[in-house]
Structure formats: C-alpha cells, structure tokens
Amino acid sequence: MRTLEGGRCVVDESAVIARVRAGEAEAYASLVRAHTAVALRAAVAYGAGAEAEDVVQQAFFKAYRSLGRFKEGAAFRPWLLRIVANETRNTVRAAGRQRAVAGREAELLAAEPLIPEGADPAIAAEERERRLQLLGALDGLGDDHRQVVIHRYLLELDETETAAALGWPRGTVKSRLSRALKKLGLVLEGEEGGEEHDGRAGGR
C-alpha cells in the first residue's frame, strides 16, 4: 500500500508494520527498500566506511526484532536512523578507526543516487565541494552538534524527525543546531579567510 508524497511513491509504514506484526514477515522488505539509501548515508556520515552495508543490515535486523516495541503511529525512519547511529558507533568503537574526511566524503557520495543526466555539472561540482567543506568542518564540532547537523542537512530530516532520531526534545534540537551552525560558520569563514590570506602572501 503506497501513497504519494512530494511526487514520490512512499510506503504506507503503518500498514506495513501492522502486516509484519500480524505474521507477514515478507512485508518488511518494502521498509528495507524504502529506507536503505538514507540508512547508508547515515552510516557513512557517522564513519562506518567500508562497514556501512554491514552496519545497515544489522540495523534493519535489530529494527525488525524490535517492531513489537515500536510505538504505533510513530515515524519509522527516525527510529531506524537512531538504531543505525548506535550500530555505527559500536562498530567504529570496536574497530578503533578514524576515517579521513576526504575518504568519508567519497563514500557518502557513492551511497547517494546518481546525479540526474540533465543536471548542470558546474552546480553538481559546487554542491559536492560545499559538502566536502561541511564534512571537514563537522570534525571540529562536539558530538552533539555534529549529530544534529548530520541529521538535519546530510540526512535531510525535518526538526521533528531529528528530535525522534536523536531522542532529544525539539527545543534541544533547535538550540544545538543554532549553536552548531554558528560554530560551523566561524570555521568555514576561517578557512576562506586563510585562503585569501595565502593568496595575498603568495603574490608578494
């Protein structure tokens, strides 16, 4: 059962979850198909790297086993992404690895849909460059600030979904996002200023 949202076909999550709870385990596949792309982006953004697919598979498995405790009427995606984030942290902590920003950016782009054929290459390149700068700046933020920016801007969740995914009140999402954006602005402005300064120095 599907409905239209923003021109896209999306799964009627409540109906699917009800079917799974009623014993139709195969219905869960539609939720997996609908949310795999965003789950992969989340895992990569949190540093899962080459383990992203394994992390996502494990997250879907844990979500399936926990559907009995899933709050009826709640949105599935924020709940799933919370599981993905926890699973990624456990994986990264166990491996004891730190991902390079450039490598993580490449993996993040690889986890996204291909750029449409009609897209302007210059605009696409500029968007990728902005994303690279953002990821570089994110590494300078504390964990809470980094999480809220990732969910709002890299995973494109709205404020309510972000609050659900992170388990925070909406007011906390607003305040932490505001502080994070201010810090990111200072970092990005510093990088641009440094480039201008280097340019002037090189000309002397």
Domain count, the chain: 2
Which of 82, 90, 89 is closest to 168 using CA atoms? Answer: 82
Domain shared by 94 and 169, yes or no:
no
| Per-residue model confidence as pLDDT tens digits over 119-148 | 566 776 777 677 677 777 887 788 899 999
Domain shared by 29 and 104, yes or no:
yes
Q: Is residue 202 part of a domain?
A: no
pTM over 0.95: no
| Per-residue model confidence as pLDDT tens digits over 181-200 | 998 887 666 555 444 444 44
Please give the Cα distance from 58 to 16 (Å, whole number): 20
- Among 113, 139, 164, the domain boundary falls at 113
Q: Is residue 142 part of a domain?
A: yes
SS3 state of residue 10: strand
Domain shared by 75 and 28, yes or no:
yes
The C-alpha angle with vertex 6 and arms to 43 and 67, in degrees rounded to 5, equals: 45
Domain shared by 63 and 135, yes or no:
no
| Per-residue model confidence as pLDDT tens digits over 33-78 | 999 999 999 998 888 888 999 999 999 999 999 999 999 889 999 9
Domain shared by 106 and 128, yes or no:
no
- Among 113, 131, 149, the domain boundary falls at 113
Domain shared by 82 and 177, yes or no:
no
CB 67 within 8 A of CB 21: yes
Domain shared by 173 and 93, yes or no:
no
The CA-to-CA distance between both ends of the chain, in Å, stands at 67
What is the average per-residue pLDDT within 86-106? 66
Domain shared by 88 and 143, yes or no:
no
Q: Residue 35 carries which DSSP code?
A: H
Q: Would you state the structure tokens that stand for residue 75, as one six-digit string?
A: 């949105």
Domain assignment of residue 108, given as a range: 1-113
Predicted pLDDT at 2: 45
